[in-house]
Amino acid sequence: MKYLIILLVFLAVMSGLVASYSLNSAEQTLTQQANGENWMIEKTMKLDLKLSEQGFWRITNDGVMGGKSSGDIVFKADHGVFSGFVSTENNGGFTSVYRPIGRLSQHTDTVFVDFMGDGQPYQLRLALNINGYRINYKQAFDTQVGVRQHLAFPLEKFIATYHGRVISNAPKVSASRIREVGFLINKKVSGEFALQIFSVTFSSSKLLQASGTMAADEGISL
């Protein structure tokens, strides 16, 4: 009887230790997961183009060069629509829309865009501040009529440009220097356009792939 009591006490103590270890282990796992999520959030900047984005985006038409193109961006419940008419009169042929952004994480190496196009090519644009000068960088991408697409644009593939000419000796894109993000359409034939934009996300390609946040194809660079 004496040994039975000792055995029962021993089993009770061990059961408590196992339960305590399991609880601590679970808490540690949850803490690690939470820290991982916070780490991901801190290193990701996502712009959801919805009604709350009204007023943050500005249009730049070719009127600055004498052209007659006109663009606009309108926000709906879950996306923005960049649309208008591109005119080739007076050596024009483009319109664009830009938004200023806050400081990005040094781990940012990719821009992810969720959009639906009209079958025409567009450019994703980044405006950088380099030694006090604004320099625009671009990556071109194709769209499909009525098809929602998710594309990834590596920062290393952006090309510096000035009035349509490539700046071959410009430095590579550094996330810390990015001041604005935008879209541009450049047409050689006059006509209407409409690009629906759902979101623009700045993050690490490895981070988003690992988290399963977004499956993206690689953008096309011209």
> Do residues 6 and 78 both lie within one domain?
no
92: pLDDT strictly greater than 90: no
Q: Are residues 11 and 51 in the same domain?
A: no
Confidence of residue 116 (pLDDT cuts 50, 70, 90): very high
Residues 15 and 111 in one domain: no
Q: What is the pLDDT of residues 153-184, one digit of tens each?
A: 999 999 999 877 888 888 999 999 999 999 99
Q: Determine what percent of the chain is predicted with pLDDT higher than 90.
A: 60
Same domain for 130 and 116? yes
> Once rounded to an integer, what is the mean pLDDT over residues 136-147?
96
Domain with 152, as residue range(s), is 45-218
Question: 215 or 111: which carries more pLDDT confidence?
Answer: 111
Q: What is the DSSP string of the chain?
A: -HHHHHHHHHHHHHHHHHHHHHHHHHHHHHHHHHHHHHHHHHT-EEEE-SGGGTTT-EEEEGGGGT---EEEEEE-SS-EEEEEEE--GGG--EEEEEEE--PPPTT--EEEEEEEB-S--EEEEEEEEETTEEEEEEEEE---BT-EEEEEEEGGG-EEEETTEE-TTPPPP-GGGEEEEEEEEE-SS-EEEEEEEEEEEEE-HHHHHHHTS---EEPP--
User: What is the C-alpha separation between 163 and 94, in angstroms, rounded?
Assistant: 11
* Nearest to 99, CA basis, from 53, 162, 132, 130: 53
Q: How far apart are CA 203 and CA 46, in angstroms?
A: 8
pLDDT at 207: 67
d(CA 51, CA 211): 27
**1 and 62 share a domain?**
no
Tally of domains in the chain: 2
CA gap 175, 202 in Å, rounded: 9
Please check whether residues 105 and 178 belong to one and the same domain.
yes
Do residue 137 and residue 159 come from a single domain? yes
* 60, 85: one domain: yes
| The model's pTM | 0.76
Range of lowest pLDDT (4-13, 65-74, 176-185, 200-209):
4-13
Q: What are phi and psi of 12, to 5 degrees?
A: -65, -40
Same domain, yes or no: 18 and 110 = no
The mean per-residue pLDDT over the stretch 96-110 comes to 94
For residue 43, the model assigns a pLDDT of: 75
* pLDDT over 80 (residue 145): yes
**How much of the chain exceeds pLDDT 70, in percent?**
74
pLDDT of residue 97: 98
Asked if residue 126 and residue 17 are part of one domain, the reply reads no
Q: What is the CATH number of the domain that holds 204?
A: 2.60.120.430
Domain co-membership, 49 together with 5: no
Are residue 18 and residue 90 in the same domain, yes or no?
A: no
pLDDT (0 to 100) of residue 210: 59
